[in-house]
Amino acid sequence: MMLKILSWNINSVRIRIPLLKMLVEQTRPDIICLQETKADDPVFPFEDLKSLGFPHIVFSGQKSYNGVAILSKHKLDNKTCFTIAKSEDKRHISVELAGGVSLHNFYVPAGGDIPDPALNPAYDFKLRFVEHMTEWSRELKKDKRQAIILGDFNIAPNEHDVWSHKQLRNVVSHTEPEITRLNTLKDSYGWNDVARHYVDSEKKLYSWWSYRNRDWRKSDRGRRLDHIWVTPGLTPALKSFSILKDARDWQSPSDHVPVLMEIDL
**Positions in the chain whose pLDDT score sits under 70:** none
CA 241 to chain CA mean position, Å: 14
Q: Return the ∠ at Cα 63 (arms to 249 and 134), rounded to 5°.
A: 80
DSSP bridge pairs for 57: 71
Structural class in CATH, domain 2-264: alpha beta
Q: In the prediction, which pLDDT does 78 show?
A: 94
Q: What is the DSSP letter of 197?
A: H
d(CA 203, CA 246): 18
Q: Where are the alpha helices (DSSP H) in the chain?
A: 17-27, 46-50, 121-142, 165-168, 176-189, 194-198, 216-219
Q: In the prediction, which pLDDT does 53 show?
A: 97
Amino acid at 201: S
Per residue, the 3-state secondary structure of 1-50, as one string, reads: CEEEEEEEECCCCCCCHHHHHHHHHHHCCCEEEEECCCCCHHHCCHHHHH
DSSP bridge pairs for 34: 8, 69
Q: In the prediction, which pLDDT does 99 show?
A: 86
Query: Considering only CA atoms, which of 122, 87, 101 is closest in space to residue 229?
Result: 101
Q: Are 50 and 24 in contact (CB under 8 A)?
A: no
With 0.85 as the threshold, say if the pTM is over it. Answer: yes
